């Protein structure tokens, strides 16, 4: 029996809670593994409470997604960090872009690999116009609304200039919120002589060489946490459970039918997000 752990006043190794944030943000349908505040809340709360951690580390690999969910998740992390006076460190793997970078900014410092991709501080809205398709096939679109804006950006009707202007106004407001959060969190570290909010992206090496201020350095999680908290630091992993269907590889009968469409949409949406960064 190891009696050392029972000795009074013996200094224990520091504990660091490690939260993995992997995937697109905001895809939270049943059976999905996307990141959302509702799905992450219990995990984040436990990470800040269990074992009185000396710090919390975020392992981020996300191409972004919902601005709202990005803001909610980041706000939860900051609230707990401030309440419990626990430092937070972000480590970017392949990518922390758009909403993924929003999450990274919830940390006190951001570390990347040389080839990680960061940035994309912008907002995008994409979709399809199917009005010519249904016209070609003799399909008539019938829409009845109470309220002039209820058919806003209907993909089965030609785009209207006033709808485009309204959408651009909404996107600009979201972009403004994103810029304000990054500016608030990164403060004077951000380069003051260039526009970092165009939606452009950088590798970790470029972000450092060009002195953007978007990151604090090149480092991997384990060696950096050992450097900060000692070689014997204990890393306590926290990650989302895989959806039931992914854990068991299949579903039966009506379960397959009820989730098939939603899962296909999730896959297509997430693949499109990753594809922007060549992943």
What 8-state DSSP symbol labels residue 54?
Answer: S
Where do the H-state alpha helices sit in the chain?
A: 37-49, 67-84, 99-104, 131-136, 161-186, 204-209, 221-229, 244-248, 253-275
| DSSP, res 58 | E
Query: Which residues, including other chains, have CB under 8 Å from residue 5's CB and lie 6 or more apart?
Result: none
Q: Could you give the residue numbers annotated as active site?
A: 98, 150
Bridge partner residues of 237 (DSSP): 18
Residues 6+ apart with CB under 8 A from 161: none
């Amino acid at each position: 029996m190891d009696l050392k752990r029972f000795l009074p006043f013996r200094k224990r190794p520091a504990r660091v809670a490690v939260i993995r944030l992997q995937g697109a943000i905001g895809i939270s349908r049943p059976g999905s593994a996307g990141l959302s505040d509702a799905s992450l809340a219990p995990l984040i709360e436990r990470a800040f409470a269990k074992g009185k951690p000396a710090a919390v580390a975020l392992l981020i690999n996300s191409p972004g997604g919902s601005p709202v969910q990005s803001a909610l998740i980041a706000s939860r992390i900051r609230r707990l960090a401030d309440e419990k006076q626990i430092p937070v460190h972000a480590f970017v793997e392949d990518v922390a872009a758009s909403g993924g970078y929003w999450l990274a900014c919830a940390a006190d410092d951001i570390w990347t690999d040389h080839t990680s991709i960061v940035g994309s501080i912008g907002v995008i809205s994409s979709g399809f116009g199917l009005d010519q398709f249904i016209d070609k096939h003799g399909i008539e679109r019938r829409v009845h609304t109470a309220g002039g804006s209820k058919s806003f950006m209907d993909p089965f009707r030609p785009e209207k200039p006033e709808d485009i202007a309204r959408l651009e106004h909404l996107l600009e407001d979201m972009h403004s919120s994103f810029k304000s959060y990054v500016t608030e969190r990164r403060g004077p570290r951000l380069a003051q002589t260039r526009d970092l909010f165009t939606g452009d992206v950088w590798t970790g090496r470029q972000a450092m060489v060009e002195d953007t201020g978007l990151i604090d350095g090149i480092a991997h999680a384990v060696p950096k946490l050992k450097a900060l908290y000692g070689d014997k630091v204990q890393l306590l992993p926290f990650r989302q459970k895989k959806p039931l269907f992914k854990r068991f590889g299949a579903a039966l009968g009506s379960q397959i039918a009820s989730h098939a469409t939603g899962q296909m949409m999730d896959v297509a949406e997430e693949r499109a997000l990753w594809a922007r960064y060549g992943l």
